[in-house]
Amino acid sequence: MVPTPIGNLEDITLRAITVLRTVDAVLAEDTRTSSVLMKHLGINKPLQSYHIFNEHQSVQRLIERIKKGEKIALISDAGTPAISDPGFLLVRECLKNGIEIECLPGPTALIPALVNSGLPTDRFTFEGFLPHKKGRQTRLQALQNEERTMVFYESPHRLLKTLQQFSEYFGADRPASVSRELTKIYEETKRGTVQEIIAYYDEKTIKGEIVICLAGKP
């Protein structure tokens, strides 16, 4: 499991480069996206497609290949595989089959967003993406008594709707932060109460990738 940059290509680790150079095959969520990174790193290795739509079908074949001695790396479009990305299924099946897996430490969006937020970092819960429709309200209700800092992934066009729901479920005065385009040229973190952040983004065209951090219940 090899984490790749979430924006700035300099965030690849030396060890990730070594592993990508030495494995027999690299599985990639989107081979076109990952071939840009591989080219940048000067690594010429065939990329094989591995994404949510084919992971169930391909996992057994991969297990067989690994059992025969092939060394396989998994990368996702950005960040750490299996974190709101494909990977969990492969890890679970490898472990079931007595295959040791190794996840390299490296880029992921949630950690810099959490640290940038200025909210308590000693205990936190990673919530990933909220369900879009079914189960969304139940999830929000279940978090109402959460005392730890909460970290959410969100898309730009849902940001305002989510913040408005946070105001409803957690209160307009709850401290929060929105980190956008981490590690990229237009990186910004907006901190304040939920209400202040809504006012900041209201009527703005919101672009880029987003992580929301929300303070826990006082």
What is the closest distance, in whole angstroms, from the C-beta atom of residue 20 to ligand SAM in the complex?
Answer: 17
What is the closest distance, in whole angstroms, from the C-beta atom of residue 105 to ligand SAM in the complex?
Answer: 11
Structure tokens at 35: 């071939």
What's the distance, Cα to Cα, between the start and end of the chain in Å?
A: 37
- Nearest residue (CB) to ligand SAM, 153 versus 170: 153
Nearest in space to 106 (alpha carbons), one of 78, 71, 72: 78
- Nearest residue (CB) to ligand SAM, 183 versus 195: 183
Alpha carbons 47 and 36: distance in angstroms, whole number: 11
- Nearest residue (CB) to ligand SAM, 1 versus 38: 1
What is the closest distance, in whole angstroms, from the C-beta atom of residue 199 to ligand SAM in the complex?
Answer: 21
Q: Are the C-beta atoms of 20 and 38 separated by less than 8 Å?
A: yes
Residue of this chain nearest to ligand SAM (CB atom)? 79
What is the closest distance, in whole angstroms, from the C-beta atom of residue 163 to ligand SAM in the complex?
Answer: 14
What is the closest distance, in whole angstroms, from the C-beta atom of residue 128 to ligand SAM in the complex?
Answer: 8
Q: Are the C-beta atoms of 22 and 14 separated by less than 8 Å?
A: no
- Nearest residue (CB) to ligand SAM, 106 versus 216: 106
- List of residues contacting ligand SAM (CB under 6 A): 6-7, 76, 78-80, 83-85, 108-110, 153-155, 179, 181-184, 209-211
Nearest in space to 7 (alpha carbons), one of 64, 76, 78: 78
- Nearest residue (CB) to ligand SAM, 83 versus 94: 83
What is the closest distance, in whole angstroms, from the C-beta atom of residue 112 to ligand SAM in the complex?
Answer: 8
Task: Give the contacts of 98 (CB within 8 A, at least 6 positions apart).
Answer: none
- Give the number of other CB atoms < 10 A from CB of residue 176: 26
* Three-state secondary structure call for residue 49: strand
- Nearest residue (CB) to ligand SAM, 162 versus 167: 162
Structure tokens at 213: 């951090």
Nearest in space to 63 (alpha carbons), one of 98, 38, 28: 98
